[in-house]
Structure 1
Amino acid sequence: MEKIFRRLFKQHFGKPPVSILEIAGDGSSRQMHRLVGDAMETAVAVTGPDPDENRAFLSFSRSFRSIGLPVPEIYGVDEKAGIYLEEDLGETTLFDAVTMARREDPGADFPAAMVPVYQRILEILPRFQVEGGKGVDYAHAYPRAAFDRQSILWDLNYFKYHFLKLAHIPFNEARLEKDFRRFATFLLGADTRHFLYRDFQSRNVMLRDGEPWFIDYQGGRRGALQYDVASLLYDPKVGLTEPLREELLEHYLDHLEQYLPVDRERFRQHFRGYVLVRIMQAMGAYGYRGFYERKPRFLQSVPQAVRNLERILETGFVNVELPELRAVFERICGTASLRRKPAQTLPGLTVHVGSFSFKGGYPDDQGGHGGGFVFDCRAIHNPGRYAEYTTLCGCDEPVIYFLEQQPEVEEFWTSVRGLVESHVGVWLTRGFSSLSVHFGCTGGQHRSVYFAERLAAFLRQHYPSVHVVLAHREQGRWPAREQAELAAAGAAAGAASAPE
């Protein structure tokens, strides 16, 4: 995989990258890496296992770029390997920017500094929908060319099976199916001739130099204009206030009228329906990732989604009779456990992460319960065999670079991450307080340290409610000369490697 990354990078920039860094996943099956050149030129390599999804993204990207829409440039593609190299838009998503602005203005219902950003995004959205919709090749749309009746029913059943059933919300199957069919007919009464971005939410808008750029539109297809506006304004991860939603919706409609005539009353009638179907689709995803896959971070958005449903119920629901669906929503809103974030109802979890040498035996049970993992890293090529690495450890850049060139490292890491993440999800759900994860190698200096550092960083980024304690057992057993040479690196990594 990395050979392909390097080849594509060299073809575009004229020289290979000097480093390849993993980018934390977004919940999809794609893997992303940031490639950095010696002059700090960067690109993002995306590995997508689904060729149809890759084909849709690449086709749409070229169409959007051709009319000047702010989407990443595609630098190179290896279609057979499922890898493409794209422009690096940085690391700041709209969600990140809102989160940072809230910290700076904690007393505000919504940070005033972010309102112009949302306005700018909603000024660009009609161009995607109307101008972009005229140029894209819907033959490449995946999994369907349109958000039609079949697509709508898929989303509604996704909500039924992955949220209602897993959250133990009672319903009458026959009556709910009848409502689903009636609801789909109502939704398709809207104008469905334009491009539907599909996942138009705060994590799929990047901010670079204050300007919005757009990613992850590979699920796009022909559909109703209302869907994407609903996705952005009712994004549970952000929680816009109702007056601001109204203001931003009007701003969007003002700019949409530059591209086509708009019957605002009719638009709003269908808008409420698309708000509901978007909330239901998102809740299905939260249920699947959270309840089924045991990834509790996805359950953090459920309380806000419930509040959004509650707001729809309070302000008139939708202009179609859906008695069983309405009853289901009322049951959801009346379920106390769904209105509270998991972190508020479960005791804290501490994950003890550490490295050790097998020469000194297995590590002590720090959690006091005897549970957890010990991973043996000795099947991975050992940097300690080379003189230039003998005085370094697994948190030093040269060692990290060496290890990440070994093909078995990423395979080992993927397996470890999957096992640990699954257990963390179960432990949080069941209210357990401690989990131990240790990595062992021959000397406890290179491979084990590298994986312990990497896992600790991953857990801190993706599970902010989890307390991570990181320790490298063999550091105190290294000769004095080696400890002295490690001091500089240790100071830089101290915040990450010292027990919290």
Structure 2
Amino acid sequence: MKPLAEIVQEFFETAIAEPITNTEIIPLSGGDRRYFRFYTAAKSYIGCYNENIKENETFFYYTHHFKAIDVPLPEILAIDTERKIYILEDLGKESLLNNLEAKGFTTEVFDLYKKSLRELARMQILGAKDLNFDVALTAKEFGKQAIMSDLLYFKYYFVDTLKIPYDKQQLLEDFDALATYLTKTEYKMFMFRDFQSRNIIVKDGKVGFIDYQGGMRGALQYDVASLLWQAKADLSEEWKNELLEYYITVINELLPAPVQKEVFVSQYNGYVVIRMLQVLGAYGFRGLFERKAHFLSSIPLALRNLKWFLANRKVGLIVPTLDDILAQITNTEIIKRFEPQKADENTPLVVKVKSFSYKKSGIPKDESGNGGGFAFDCRGILNPGRFEPYKKITGREKEVIDFLEQQTKMPDFMNNVYNIIDISVEDYIARGFDSLAINFGCTGGQHRSVFAAEQTARHLRNKYKVKVELEHVEQGIREVKY
């Protein structure tokens, strides 16, 4: 089986007349698309592989259409005959979110948000002219049916999972009222759909957009709500207000007549709610159903974001059952339910994480006297050691990490590991236990088990702040992470 990176690289070499000096696998962020960064002596390029040809065609069409009005999108440089592989201009590595996390709430970052909103407005309003919305992936328009779909997603995958009591018929009527109210906006143009700071690339003080293939016809307010109320960005109230005012100023320059500000802001607040509930539905599905740790850990952030909004903003619509549900899910006790119990300086627990080889040393003995713990067999995961580029390196090396994350079922394996070990870690912290053993084995103790041990140690430190002793038995490496 030829590695996917090699397949895309071969197409690059036939399409771009520049020798590759290095290849980097870009971590997955969503969907089934696989991205690679190819370096040449002159610059870097992005290679993409996607089996979903319809999605590719939408991306190609949108890119061509919006670049005609100078929206900052990547140039498409080559497309293979099957329309599954394509090469893009590399806009850069750093996102707006990266800039915010690295530099904080500075004037420089604030100006980047303003540039993003100005380019968004141009894309939404100028780009809507002569745009064929028939190519949209899911629906031509984010209308009542699409809004109801997002609300029901929230209901089934979040509210019902928490077993919140409510009148089902009355909730559906509230959903219908909210969806009807929001579809009456007169400002339906192009809607990016996932306009978040991670989809805005920053390079040399300029912004560029990626992941816009999910766009459709919809309200201007939705994308602004997505950007300004992104829970992870946690923008201040002052920034949110000033940036919204700036955006309204920009669209008033582009629209035939200025918007009615009071109505526009009221509907904007409604779209903030819709976006927040859609995100909670996604977190519920990925976290509560698929048990993916990253999404579970994001739920408290999203709930606190929603709680602040409910206390400080008004939609201007009477939806009593929905209001009651939102009050219940933003209750402090509910939020705490999703926040892991973290260790402090007095917590005695030390988690001993080891990688080993089943053929060489076997399952490590627990020297604490407790016995037990966990031993996970990683041999069901495709072995990087079968491929020449990875034979002499370990699961600590980027090349092996990328292979395991992108071309094997290791991410699913690790999510299930986290679900199991988290139960014991939380219980041991609460009960004052001092030792827990977690072992990962594979054939040679070099690739899969090393990767799994490294990722588990990082997971435990990030989520619980617990003390970790990490050991790779076959490499003779031992690290203490306090």
Partner of 1:144, secondary structure, is: coil
1:435 and 1:381, CA in 2 relative to 1: closer, same or farther beyond 3 A?
Answer: same
The match for 2:359 is: 358
Q: Which amino acid aligns with 2:320?
A: P
The match for 2:417 is: 423
Q: Identify the range of structure 1 (422-431 vs 160-169) with the bigger mean alpha-carbon deviation.
A: 422-431
Partner of 1:358, secondary structure, is: coil
Percent identity between the two aligned chains = 31
The match for 1:450 is: 447
**How far did residue 205 of structure 1 move?**
1.2
Contact 2:342 2:463 in 1 (8 A): no
Q: Which amino acid aligns with 1:31?
A: R
Contact 1:377 1:439 in 2 (8 A): no
What does 1:307-326 align with in structure 2 at a 5 Å threshold? Answer: 307-315=304-312, 317-326=314-323
Q: Distance in 2 between matches of 1:183 and 1:383?
A: 55
TM-score (norm 2): 0.83
Contact 1:163 1:288 in 2 (8 A): yes
Contact 1:191 1:225 in 2 (8 A): no
Q: Identify the range of structure 1 (58-67 vs 352-361) with the bigger mean alpha-carbon deviation.
A: 352-361
Q: Identify the range of structure 1 (6-15 vs 124-133) with the bigger mean alpha-carbon deviation.
A: 6-15
Q: Distance in 1 between matches of 2:16 and 2:406?
A: 31
1:199 and 1:411, CA in 2 relative to 1: closer, same or farther beyond 3 A?
Answer: closer
The match for 1:485 is: none
Contact 2:8 2:49 in 1 (8 A): no
The match for 2:39 is: 36
Partner of 2:230, secondary structure, is: coil
Contact 1:25 1:31 in 2 (8 A): yes
The match for 1:141 is: 136
**How far did residue 379 of structure 1 move?**
7.8
Q: 1:91 aligned to 93, 107, 124, which one? A: 93
1:459 and 1:21, CA in 2 relative to 1: closer, same or farther beyond 3 A?
Answer: farther
Q: Distance in 1 between matches of 2:7 and 2:20?
A: 11
The match for 2:13 is: 10
The reply on whether 1:201 has 2:203 as its aligned counterpart is no
Deviations 1:108-150 (A, max 9, x none): xx44442112112112111110112225331211101110111
The reply on whether 1:297 has 2:294 as its aligned counterpart is yes
TM-score (norm 1): 0.81
Ranges in structure 1 where 5+ consecutive residues have no aligned partner: 103-109, 477-493
Ranges in structure 2 where 5+ consecutive residues have no aligned partner: 429-435
Q: Distance in 1 between matches of 2:180 and 2:172?
A: 13
Contact 1:195 1:225 in 2 (8 A): yes
1:454 and 1:248, CA in 2 relative to 1: closer, same or farther beyond 3 A?
Answer: same
**How far did residue 241 of structure 1 move?**
1.6
Deviations 1:34-53 (A, max 9, x none): 2333x263222333343332
What does 1:154-173 align with in structure 2 at a 5 Å threshold? Answer: 154-173=149-168
The match for 2:432 is: none
Q: Distance in 2 between matches of 1:117 and 1:326?
A: 35
Q: Which amino acid aligns with 1:294?
A: R
Q: Identify the range of structure 1 (154-163 vs 53-62) with the bigger mean alpha-carbon deviation.
A: 53-62
Contact 2:366 2:437 in 1 (8 A): no
Q: Distance in 2 between matches of 1:97 and 1:119?
A: 14
Q: Distance in 1 between matches of 2:455 and 2:213?
A: 26
1:218 and 1:359, CA in 2 relative to 1: closer, same or farther beyond 3 A?
Answer: same
Contact 1:230 1:278 in 2 (8 A): yes
Q: Distance in 2 between matches of 1:83 and 1:74?
A: 11
> How many residues get paired?
459
Q: Which amino acid aligns with 1:183?
A: L
Contact 1:191 1:223 in 2 (8 A): no
The match for 2:431 is: none
Q: Distance in 2 between matches of 1:196 and 1:394?
A: 44
The match for 1:72 is: 74
